[in-house]
Structures are given as structure tokens and as C-alpha cells.
Amino acid sequence: MNTESVSIAEIGISGASVAYDKRYSYIIPDELSGTVSAGKRVIVPFGRGSRKRIGIVLSVSECSAAETQKCKCITSVIDSEPVIGGEMQKMLEWLHDMTLCTYYDAFRALIPPGLSVNFTEKYSFSEADTEQKKGLSPQAADLYASFSEVKNRREQEMMISAAFDGTDKAAAEELLSKGLIVRCDEVRRRVKDETLQMIHLSEGFCDHPELFKLTPKQKKIAEVLEENGAASVKELCYLCNITGQVIKNMLKSGAAESFEYEVIRPSEAKADSDPDDIVLTDEQQAAYNGISSLIDSDKPDCALLFGVTGSGKTSVFAKLIKHTLDIGKNVIMMIPEISLTPQTVSRFQSLFGDMVSVIHSSLSMTARLNEYKRIRSGGSRIVVGTRSAVFAPIDNIGLIIMDEEGEMTYKSETSPRYSARDAAKMRCVYHNAVLLLASATPSIESFYNAERGRYKLFELKNRYAGNPLPSVDIIDMSEEELCGTSGIFSAKLVNELNANLSRGEQSILLLNRRGYYTFISCTSCREPVKCPNCSIPLTYHKTNNRLICHYCGFSEDMLTKCPCCGSEKLKMTGLGTQKLEDEISDLFPSARILRMDADTTYSRYAYERSFKAFENGEYDIMLGTQMIAKGLDFPNVTLVGVLSVDKALFCGDFRSYERTFSLITQVVGRGGRSDKAGRAYIQTCVPEHYVINLAAQQDYKEFYRQESALRKALTYPPYCDICVAGFSSVNDRHADDGSKAFLGLISDEVDKGNIRFPLRVLGPARCVFERINGRFRYRIIIKCRNTAEFREFISEIRLRFLKMKEYSDVQLYIDINGDIGL
């Protein structure tokens, strides 16, 4: 019996489907002993064909040789140091368990895209002597001859690769085994480290300088290096007044050696104000005192800062960040939208200078990687960013702030489908830190937890400096039509815009639909012009005279005939931000208009330039989609117009009322934030709806009371969790049948009495948008409790479904507490 112990690594494999995702055991060969550890990436043979894959090492252990007889060996190690440390290794396991994603998907969520690597197997041709070619099979000999006839090296490599993938694989393997073909693994990182070539004196020169004959200029180099230890090529050229060739000659002689030094670009931000100068109101001071005492307790905790718009939550954040830094701990500050980044970063950099780092998806891969390395090296103590900032490699965290915490952008819509709030809680537990949730319109779930004492609740009931909340009027657009107003604007809103322009004050207009016309239909056959890939009408964009699908990206030139019946009687209806811009220009020719939507902010610095210009008074009216609704602070804005939110109320999601209330309340709160009074007008065709009325009154607590009662009666969060199983296929019947088969698997377990937890299943049913990007979509909604037992159950059901070959063309995803609207 073999009792010898063997080192084993458990590895998560890249590219493994959910059905085959598990911890795979690999032997660590002797030549790699000491180089394999958790958090590093390796190359391993995978599957029946032993094709090489990248894997992330999850753990390393010892076991007996008898237990590893069927295990394969690790081929090579990619990283010299672990890419993720101990805390992030725990986060990887948490993501895998909570979101039911693959191990490697979880790993990729934890690192910036620039750290990702691409792996390819390359083959090269080896010239052989007669002895090597002896004993080759006829097929291998013919294949070798065909390779040798090709003189172009790249073409030769392509032929060899094709042979391994085709019918000549056996012959190619034979050539490989005899050394007539050489295989090598090539790993390339998406973004290379920025490095600097450094020079230092060689060991030989330091021990016996008399053996080296240096020129006068080289002697100058030696003197500088003896004094400083090492210097860059550029520094030596400047200090010694020499050219690079002198250094090259010194390297050739062996007197000096070069090495690469990794460069991390520092932040150029400078603090120009002091957080200690911020004066808090009594309400703010009380909130600050309570939250800072939680931070000082050195225990994990969660607090909700509930304050009306303009109550000065950001000032409280700044004071809390200063307090956290003073006690030697670090901070993560999360914001829901990239559009909020410029103003937020500017505020905190003015207070904390180069201690602030920024992380969000609009940064280039190089810039994002540099910020990641700056944080990891300790060069930054405050991280500001969107959802992904929750995984920033910052240590010793004392405080994590989630501003506008109720926004659904904090929930990932792709694998891993994690909630940034839940991830932040995990990090707070690890670091004994405080999670501070903040909003004027908290999520129903967060306020529910605060009411029940699970979160500490702190309130700011008044605006800073005693400024009143904006006055809000609801305008019935049905009555406006009866009075002869047929345009986009009510007569009242037009008069108020005119008044603002005459006073030199700024206005904000919200319309949550981009494009020019949002609906084009044929008056003959009454069919809308739809996207060929989706069950969604195309939107007309006047800028490029094209019809565009906002879901799959399909676009085509504007049509002159109906694609269904050939009629030329096409009618354009609906309203988008492009048309709104034209309408405002016609009504107010002298007005300077800034449009903010996805079509005008695609460039990297668009948000920063546009918001700065508006803040500086270069525009009179800013119109846009929901990106302008939250978190922005413009002192000269005194008028807000909400043009159309009726559709948002009835979008088929149980959160539609909550989102609509939040959107209206937040955008109304952009007005009157200085000493000038603010006013707002909500244009609607349902003026009696309680959500619109409560938003106009900015009465969150009454909205919460009514919404909470409704959800309790219908059993929706926070009174349960929601798990969505989504199905899609290019074949409508297959998607439908697949969803029913999945339901059948659940029903079987119920019939067997194997389910010992509450479960309520709705569906299957078509999604609101039944076809997107050529795939038909169905879903099952499961009301449940998000426990380990439930996740284990739904994972097992998913695994059984994925093994049903008749539904191999049906894609399945599981999303817990995500969006169910579309």
C-alpha cells in the first residue's frame, strides 16, 4: 500500500459550464513544488482530450498517492504571486455559493479586466535528421513532408494547429512525441505592467572594479550608481550628460546590469480644502456622532442614513471619512451611476487629495489597472466608484458608504449576479467595519430592516441651512389637451421656463426615453416597425437618420415602406430626448441646451465635461434621462420638469412603484439647493395616482407604509426573497418546453415531500419582451427564503435540467433578488 503523500491543488477551471463547474483536483508535480498556492492562476489539462485551460487555485493540501491515481498534473504556473489574497479568496467562495456562478466567473469579478490573461498553444516545426524520422507511420511521414514544404513560418504554424484540430490529429501527436513538432504555451496579459528600465552596477564590478576599463563618461555613471544604488536610463542621461549608447556599452562590458521596475502612476490630485472646516447642523452632527461611534466600536454593523434631498448627506460622509482615516482605517465610497463620478470625485479629491482612487467601467483598462495597483500597494486610502469598487483590493477597511443605496445598478445583471450591498456586508464582517447605506429614497428592504432594528437608523429631516424643499405641482396633461395644448409642454411649464431664462437661472427636464420618435407604425396594416431580432419597436434617431434597437444594437436606415405590407403610410409617434431638444430649441431659440443621454455620453470624459460646463453656467437647460436625476448638485437650478413617467408605473415589475417614486423624488430634489427657492412640475395623464402624489409631497414614509402593506399582502420582498429562473432559445417552443420541464423537476420534489422550506412558484410565462437578440424568453418566478438549503435545492434542479439533452439549446440563468421587470 502506497502511503506517500502528494501535494494536491483544487482548481476552478475557466470556460467550464455550470453543469461541469466544481473543484477539480490536480497533482502539483515536483518541478512546480513551492510555486503553486491559492489565488494563483495555472495551466492545466482538462477534459477527455486534455486540452489546456487556465484555472484559479482555490486551495492546496496533502493527500495519499492512492487517492490521486486518476488526477492529472498541473502543466505550469502563470503568476509569480497570488492575484487575489486571503480576503478575496473568501469573497470568491461567497460569490460562487450565493450567486450560483462558476468559480472562474467569480474570480473574474474580483480583478480588473487588465489583469486577465489570454492563453494559446503554439506549435513550431523542427528540422529532423534521418534517425529521428525512422519508424514514422506513413500518415505521420506524409504530414511531416507537407509541413517541410511550407517555408513561411506563420503559415506553417497555422497548418500544424489545423492538423491537431482535424482528422490528422493522431499523426500530429506522433510527430509531437518524436520531437519533430514543438509545442509551447503562450500566455499574454491583456494589459502589460508599465515598467521603467533601471540600471545598477553588476556584482562582478562591485567585487573587482579594477578588472573593468571604463571610459570617463562610464565612470560618471558608476559614481552615480554607487551613490544611489540604481537609476533609470533617463535619469542617468540627464545627470551624467550622456547618450543612451554609453549605457548600452557599459551593459555589454558587464560592468552594469539592467532590470525592469514596475511603475504605478500617482494621482495628481491636490487637496485645497480641509474636512475640519465643514460645519454640520445639529441633525448632521447627531448622525455623525452616532455613526462614528459605530466605527469606533470595531464591530461589523450596518446603518441607514435617511435624509431628504439637499440635507447634506455628503458633508456627513466627508466628516466620517476623515474620522475613519484618523483612526488608521480606510474607506470605500460607492455611487450608483458613472455619471455621478466626476462631481463626487472632485468633492473628495478637494478634501483628501491624492488619497482618493477611482474605479468604474468607463476607465480605460490601463487606467483601471493602475488604480487597482495603486490601491493594492497602499498608495490610496479612499476608493470611489460604482458597483465593482466593492471588490477594491484595499485593506483595513473601517467604513463602506453606499450612496443612493436603493438603485438597482448595485445589482449585477450578468454572471456573477451579485448585490454590491451583500458583498459590502461580507467585507464589513471581515474587517469589523461599518456599512453606511444612504438615500432620500431608501429601498423598501433597507427601510424595513431599519424599522426592525437590524440596521441603525439616522435621519436628516431638513435641508442644509434651512432651505425649503421645492414646491411641486402636478399637471394633468389630459386637461391640457382639452384646453388646446397639443405639444410636449404644458402652458404652465413653458411660462416657468421663460421666467427662468429671463432671470438667468437654470432648469432641468427629465424624459426617460432616448431617441427622436420612439414608435413607428404603418397606418395601413397597423403593425409597428420592430427589430428583426427582438419583439421591440425600433426607435428613430434623427442625428443619423437611422432606426435603432436599444436592446440588441440592430440598426438600419430610415424606412420609406412598411416591411409587412409595403405601404408608404408610416406614422411616427412617441417622444425621445432628441425630439425634446428640437422642441425646446423651437420654443426658446436663444436657450443654451445640454442633452444628457446614452447617445451623447459615450466618450470617456463626456460626463465630466458636460456637467462641469453646466455647473459653470454655459447652459441654461439640461434635459436627459435618469442619469441626471440623482446625486447631482447645481446651485443655480431652480426649476425641474418631469415630462413623462407614466409608463414606468406600469412596467410589470413589483418594484415599478418604488422606482417611479424614487425617480420623481430625486429629480425634483435637484432644484432649490442654494438660497434660491426651487419649484417642480410633474406632467402626467394619471394625476390621481397615489405614487405620483406622494412623490410630489416628497413623503417617503407614507409611500413606504402603503408599498410595504401592498407587498406584504402579495408576498413580495422584504417579506420573501425572489428567485428568477430565465430560459431562452432561438426556438420558441424549445424555450417554452424547457421552462415547463424545469417546473416539472420542482414539482417532482414537492410530490416526493423532499422540500422542507416555504416555496411559491409563479409561471412559467413569457417575459415582457418575449424576444431579444433573436432568442425567445420565458421565466419562472419563485418566492422563497434565500437560505443555503434553498440554494442547494435550486442548484440541484438546475444541474438536472442542464443534463437533459433535449434542451441543450436552451440557455438557463438563475438570479436571486434581481430584476424581474423585462
Do strands 456-460 and 637-644 pair parallel, antiparallel, or not at all (unpaired)? unpaired
CA distance 433 to 302: 9
Q: What is the pLDDT of residue 154?
A: 78
455623525: which residue's cell? Answer: 288
For every residue of 1-35, which 3-state class applies, written as one string? CCCCEEEEEEEEECCCCHHHCCCEEEECCHHHCCC
More confident site: 417 or 122: 417
Cα pseudo-dihedral 175, 178, 182, 183, rounded to 10: 80
Residue with cell 409561471: 763
Model pLDDT, residue 133 = 66
CA 578 to chain centre: 28
Residue 470 CA to residue 487 CA, distance in Å, equals 25
Residue 32: pLDDT band with limits 50, 70, 90: very high
Strand ranges (E), 164-265: 181-189, 195-201, 231-232, 256-262
Q: Once rounded to an integer, what is the mean pLDDT over residues 33-48?
A: 94
Task: Please give the share of the chain, as a percent, with pLDDT higher than 90.
Answer: 67
SS3 for 27?
strand
Predicted confidence (pLDDT) per residue in 293-340, tens digit: 999 999 999 999 999 999 999 999 999 999 999 999 999 999 998 878
Interval 376-405 mean pLDDT:
96
Contact (Cβ atoms closer than 8 angstroms) between residue 690 and residue 706: yes
At 467-516, the pLDDT tens digits run 899 999 999 988 888 877 767 899 999 999 999 999 999 999 999 888 87
How does pLDDT run across 746-804, given as a tens digit for each residue?
999 999 988 888 899 999 999 988 999 999 999 999 999 999 999 999 999 999 999 99
Closest CA to 241 of 275, 209, 218: 218
* Residue 701 CB neighbours (<10 A): 10
Q: pLDDT band at residue 3, thresholds of 50, 70 and 90?
A: low
Highest mean pLDDT pick, 125-134, 157-166, 475-484: 475-484
pLDDT-based confidence at residue 1 (cuts at 50, 70, 90): very low
Q: Is the pLDDT of residue 567 over 60?
A: yes
> Which residues lie closer than 8 Å to 129 by C-beta, 6 or more apart?
none
Q: What is the mean pLDDT of residues 3-29?
A: 92
Q: Which of 283, 583, 587 is nearest to 461 (CA)?
A: 283
User: Is 622 a residue whose pLDDT tops 70?
Assistant: yes
- Mean pLDDT for 130-142 is 74
Q: How confident is the prediction for the chain on average, in pLDDT?
A: 91
Quick one: CA torsion of 61, 62, 64, 67, rounded to 10 degrees? 10
- Please report the pLDDT score of residue 153 as a whole number: 77
Give the type of residue at 561: K
**Each residue of 692-737: pLDDT tens digit?**
999 999 999 999 999 999 999 999 999 999 999 999 999 999 999 9
Question: Residue 131 — pLDDT band, cuts 50, 70, 90?
Answer: low
C-alpha cell at 572: 411616427
